[in-house]
Amino acid sequence: MSAAGRLQGMVAIITGGGSGFGESMAHAFAREGARIVLGDMNREAGNRVCGELTALGFEAIACLVDVSKSDDMAALINAALERFGQIDVMVNNAGMSHPNRPMLDVDEAFFDRLFAVNVKSLYLSAVHCVPVFRRQKRGCFINIGSTAAVRPRPGLTWYNGSKGAVTLITKSMAVELAPDNIRVNSINPALADTPLLTTFMGTADTAENRARFLASIPLGRLCQPVDVAHAAVFLADPASNFVTGVCLEVDGGRCI
Ligand SMILES: NC(=O)c1ccc[n+]([C@@H]2O[C@H](COP(=O)([O-])OP(=O)(O)OC[C@H]3O[C@@H](n4cnc5c(N)ncnc54)[C@H](O)[C@@H]3O)[C@@H](O)[C@H]2O)c1
């Protein structure tokens, strides 16, 4: 454990911390000295990452949470406060998508679930976390958006819209909460090598199909979880305390 980590002494909640970007952010934050609270609806995944962190000598707890449920979000915040006494960073990362398909083939129940997980979760994290940040007179939200909010691909219309909401909510929260010394930023990753990949591609994960997507990314590769983790560490770092309302593309140039 680094004694002079960039996030030394901080406490970070990471939703969806049991896989993909969330897992990578949890490791990167812990390496920089933060204590970690993982919130995931997959108990096994959350416990696995938590076990890996503690085995490395880091402090971490895992909570079973559905981010679309107010009671669960309240319990997550309370668990962080009970165990660590403070919250410095709230990473709203848990998210989902409908499989890539024509917009009218996504049914109403799926649409409602998608917006509950990807968008309502931001409302709920604000409801339960902003009062804590106001009491502390500091805090930082990092929301995981997507390049889908900037350069939408076909077949993902409702997912794209949910990430558009993440962008606007990020900027709007940033201006409204700035007087409270609360920063709000987001990260827009490009298509990444996580379990969500095939959902987004809508085709089999073959070299030929990957090549089609890679052709639209100037740096010529998919996003890796660690790319997002490095950007998140920057946004959480007190050294970026003049950065708010930013929706940072981590996309190899995809959005140019
Ligand atoms: N993978 C990509 O290509 C990509 C690109 C841009 C943005 N994103 C966004 O990044 C975020 C993370 O995606 P990922 O690729 O790491 O996904 P992932 O599927 O690897 O991990 C998501 C994690 O979130 C958890 N989760 C899902 N719904 C939840 C809920 N309602 N409550 C609590 N936990 C829940 C899952 O159990 C899982 O552990 C999402 O918001 C996604 O939209 C992904």
> What is the best residue among 44, 196, 198 to mutate for testing ligand 1's pocket, by most ligand atoms within 8 Å of CB?
196
* 135-169: burial string, b at 16+ Cβ within 10 Å, e else: eeebbbbbbbbbbbbbbbbebbbebbbbbbbbbeb
pLDDT the model gives residue 3: 58
- Residue pLDDT, tens place only, 163-210: 999 999 999 999 999 999 999 999 999 999 888 888 998 888 888 888
Question: Averaged over 59-83, what is the pLDDT?
Answer: 98
Residue 47 has pLDDT above 80, yes or no: yes
pLDDT the model gives residue 202: 84
- CATH number of this structure's domain 11-250: 3.40.50.720
- Residue pLDDT, tens place only, 168-180: 999 999 999 999 9
Domain boundaries, the chain: 11-250
Sequence length of the chain is 256
**62, 42 Cβ separation under 8 angstroms:** no
Give the percent of the chain with pLDDT over 90: 91
This prediction has a pTM of 0.97
- Residue pLDDT, tens place only, 96-154: 999 999 999 999 999 999 999 999 999 999 999 999 999 999 999 999 999 999 999 99
12 CA to centre of ligand 1 in angstroms: 17
pLDDT the model gives residue 180: 98
Ligand 1: which residues within 6 Å by Cβ?
A: 15-16, 18-22, 40-42, 45, 65-68, 93-96, 117, 144, 146, 189, 191-192, 194-197, 200
123 is catalytic: no
126 class by beta-carbon count within 10 Å (0-12 exposed, 13-18 middle, 19+ buried): buried
Residues 132, 127: Cα–Cα separation, whole Å = 10
pLDDT the model gives residue 204: 87
pLDDT tier at 1 (50, 70, 90 boundaries)? very low
pLDDT the model gives residue 174: 99
**36, 49 Cβ separation under 8 angstroms:** no
E strand intervals along the chain = 11-15, 35-40, 60-64, 89-92, 139-144, 182-189, 247-250
